[in-house]
Structure 1
Amino acid sequence: MGKSPKERAAQLGPGALPGRESDVVWDSQRAGEFMTGRLSDPAVGRPPHPVMPRAQGTAPPARRGGGAPRDRKSAAHRVRIWLPLSLVLLLALAGVQMVRAVPDPVLRTGADASSYTFDGRFDIPWPAKGQGAVQVQGVGGIGTFGDPRPVPTASVAKVMTAYVILQNHPLKKDEAGPEIEVDAKAVADGTAEDESRIEGLSAGAKFSQLDMLKMLMIPSGNNIARLLARWDGGSDSEAAFVQKMNEAAQRLGMKDTVYTDPSGLDAKTVSTAVDQLKLAEAVMKSDAFRPIVTLPNATLKGLSAPLNNNNDDLLLSGLSIKGIKTGSSSAAGGALMWAAYKSVGDKTPLILGTMMDQHADGPDHNALNSLALVKANSKKVIEAVRSALTSVVAVRKGQTVGYVDDGLGGRTPLVATEDLRLIGVAGHKATLALDDGGKALPRSAKSGTKVGRLRLAGVADAPSVPVALERDLAPPSLGSRLIRLG
């Protein structure tokens, strides 16, 4: 027979078992209790398994069975709690999305119809020195040159004087307006040398506002500019009127312009060609002003001599030049603000230009040579621009030009209902934009409904054509309203 466990344990040493059991270490006391029968398994009457020591650094043995059902019950419990809450949250979110205001639809210009560039190239024959700018009615600016720094304006300042007078005392076409009395200062200023003035005036004599404007603009009367400033302000000072000139310049966006006197004789009255172009555009809208500056000469009752325009050679050049004002002084050199017309197709747009800081070489008494220079250089520009103007069809009838954006991803195409014909010069790029005319766009409409116009962007009096829906316009879908993020 083999040896008993006790004997084998005694033979191998305390706490050890032979073979594979040699790794089991027994507690001597518990082993003794087991041998005497005091420690047993109450369920089966067998002694329990020996206590196995756990190696240092190892995790306790995993439990087998019993944990999985409890975990499954916990997971099911969490699902029963969170699923209804999630559904409630989703329904609440959907409700919020549905009651949120739907964005207003807007017009968007398509990439293919955002601009049009005229074929070819056109170079304006600008002079080598000075500065200038040209624009065409319904087209916008087509060219500038020179350093756009403020320079003296000379008598071109009188255009602002006339503009402010007509703003404060409007006249209709051919309307004479109120009588203005000549004061002693205007008479004395009429005798000053080396400046343009109206001579032969008598204190107490009266002229209509229209005739005063003719004396201001045609022969460029400095004394009349000061007289009108005093008349408008109702005092002997011209300061209040000069302030009005600067305020008008600010309203017109003439950021680089400062007026210090109503005549332009003061060299501190400065501006730029681009700024003066803004004034030209504004003043030529006056029905009373335009007829005055087209006159090469005029005869007024109460004056001993006719009025002769310093711009008469250009007015009579056959280039359809209709003004506007010359200026010349030692500080300013020669300056000119001009207006001309050119028929292109069935349109006759107004062409406006300014040229400043033109100084003739050599001696130049009262800047007369510089005045001749600026007129000659301006004439070249006018001739070139008038010859270069052309008309093209930039957008065809039925062409897709953009879309209605419902703000939630929906796009309904728009088409031009007519040909859009533009006027310009070779190389000119015209920027196009859709305009709703300030009216709210419909959220739904039938195909063919006109919802706006396609026009030149940022250009007053620009040509335009109606645009219509290419297909039915529908409100945003339920899905797009639910999933919107913005």
Structure 2
Amino acid sequence: MVRPLPSPELKVREAASTVTVPGGRFVIPWPKKGQGAVMVAGGGTVGTFGAEKPVPTASVAKIMTAYVVLREHPLAKGEKGPRITIDAKTVTDGTAEDESRVEGLQEGQSFSELDMLRMLMIPSGNNIARMLARWDTKSKDETAFVRKMNDAAKALGMRNTTYTDPSGLDRGTVSTAVDQLKLADAVMKSEAFRSVVSMVGADIPGAGHIDNNNAPLLTAGLGVEGIKTGSNTPAGGTLSWAARATVDGKERLVLGTMMDQHVTGPDPNGSNSLALVLENSRKVVAAVRKGLTTATVVRKGQVVGHVDDGFGGRTPVVAAKDLTVVGLPGQRVRVTFRDGGRALARTAERGTVVGELIATPGPGSAAGKVPVVVKSALKEPSFGTRITRIG
């Protein structure tokens, strides 16, 4: 009777699962209080501080409002989109005190979707946020749109985020810095969105000139390209930002969020806390852009494991390419293996892919991945080997 041959087994080395980015230890100049996070777009988180607990977002919530609007009504390059007619509620909301709004609008005026997004994101019009919510859902209130916001947050993996309104004025709209990075990474893929939030100001026909609350960072010479400030009494100062940085000759998009920044003393509607979060973020942007570097955590051809044929024979598996990440000196990067559901065959050509290595510097998306291949061909056991299985 011939016993069945054992199945080959792939074993990946665990000893080298964590690698440190060389260059000493880099310290991000975080403030003493609040929370924040920084990531390289498409490359995972490079630093966080503070407890990851939900706090009021203030007008940073409008990033999600814009994200949902552009998802439902995308704008191609150079396109302004449909006309949106101002309703009576938007005019009335424009006279409200103690909240940001676009004043002087008239019922029946119409603006392009692009100009509405500008009035939403640049001067942070709460009345524009509500108007867009009603327009998108063809509703008399914002309830259905808020539901879309929460559905979008869930789809993006924003586990600690809850939206209760489209403007962020309501203190029940809460999130974390880490969650807001997930949103920033997604929304900055929209060219229309990027074109809006990078503006220091804009002239809107029928509404006049509007200025960006984020102008101090946009004009600081730090490569900042938006994205949104927020401030009120419950939230203090909040900010999500995006900046370009050149790392080893390649341009990268760096994203950051800082929340729960509060001054000591008078702070009408969070105005002084807004100045605080802008200054604290400026320090972080400047330091991170200067400190970012690349590190090769696995080299091409490096043996990362082996295939055991069950008879004592071992065939090395190697990285098919260098696995390089962007990070800060001293940052620890975890390298993991994933087979992607591939079944390991008994025979395979040299260079056959058996899985991939994934580098993850922190919470968020992976920083990079490379295929793992067999270094030499996998072959059927010889006749002599087979005969030893007869019993």
Report the TM-score, using the length of structure 1 for normalisation: 0.73
Residues 237 and 349 of structure 1, relative CA distance in 2, 3 Å threshold = same
Look up the match of 1:40: none
Write the deviation string for residues 136-192 of structure 1: whole angstroms up to 9, x where unpaired.
234311222122222111101111111111222222233212111111111111111
- Aligned with residue 235 of structure 1, among 124, 139, 142: 139
- Aligned with residue 296 of structure 2, among 393, 400, 403: 393
SS in 1 for 2:254: strand
- Aligned with residue 245 of structure 2, among 342, 353, 357: 342
**Amino acid in structure 2 at the alignment position of 1:290:** R
Write the deviation string for residues 262-306 of structure 1: whole angstroms up to 9, x where unpaired.
101111111121221221122112222122111111112222x21
SS in 2 for 1:192: coil
Look up the match of 2:85: 181
Superposition RMSD on alpha carbons, in Å? Answer: 2.7
Which deviates further from its counterpart, 328-337 or 173-182? 173-182
The CA distance in 2 between the partners of 1:439 and 1:214, in whole Å, is 47
- Size of the aligned set, in residue pairs, is 385
Residues 157 and 104 of structure 1, relative CA distance in 2, 3 Å threshold = farther
User: Alignment identity in percent?
Assistant: 58
- Aligned with residue 227 of structure 2, among 298, 307, 324: 324
Native 8 Å contact 2:60 2:230 kept in 1: yes
Shift of 1:443: 3.5
- Aligned with residue 164 of structure 1, among 68, 76, 90: 68
Which deviates further from its counterpart, 462-471 or 266-275? 462-471
Extract unaligned runs of 5+ from structure 2. none
Higher helix share: 1
Native 8 Å contact 1:130 1:358 kept in 2: yes
Look up the match of 2:129: 225
1:472 aligns with 2:377: yes
**Amino acid in structure 1 at the alignment position of 2:67:** Y
Native 8 Å contact 2:291 2:328 kept in 1: yes
**Amino acid in structure 1 at the alignment position of 2:247:** V
Residues 245 and 417 of structure 1, relative CA distance in 2, 3 Å threshold = closer
Native 8 Å contact 2:133 2:166 kept in 1: yes
Shift of 1:346: 3.5
Look up the match of 1:10: none
* 1:34-49 map, 5 Å: none
Residues 452 and 297 of structure 1, relative CA distance in 2, 3 Å threshold = same
* 1:291-370 map, 5 Å: 291-303=195-207, 305-370=208-273
* 1:60-459 map, 5 Å: 91=1, 94=2, 97=4, 108-111=11-14, 113-119=16-22, 120-303=24-207, 305-404=208-307, 411-435=314-338, 442-449=345-352, 451-457=354-360
The CA distance in 2 between the partners of 1:462 and 1:272, in whole Å, is 21
SS in 2 for 1:337: strand
The CA distance in 1 between the partners of 2:165 and 2:141, in whole Å, is 11
Extract unaligned runs of 5+ from structure 1. 1-90
SS in 1 for 2:315: strand
Native 8 Å contact 2:292 2:327 kept in 1: yes
The CA distance in 2 between the partners of 1:462 and 1:388, in whole Å, is 17
Residues 361 and 246 of structure 1, relative CA distance in 2, 3 Å threshold = same
| Relative contact order higher in (CA < 8 Å, ≥ 6 apart) | 2
Report the TM-score, using the length of structure 2 for normalisation: 0.89
**Amino acid in structure 2 at the alignment position of 1:212:** M
Native 8 Å contact 1:448 1:471 kept in 2: yes
Higher strand share: 2
Native 8 Å contact 1:105 1:442 kept in 2: no
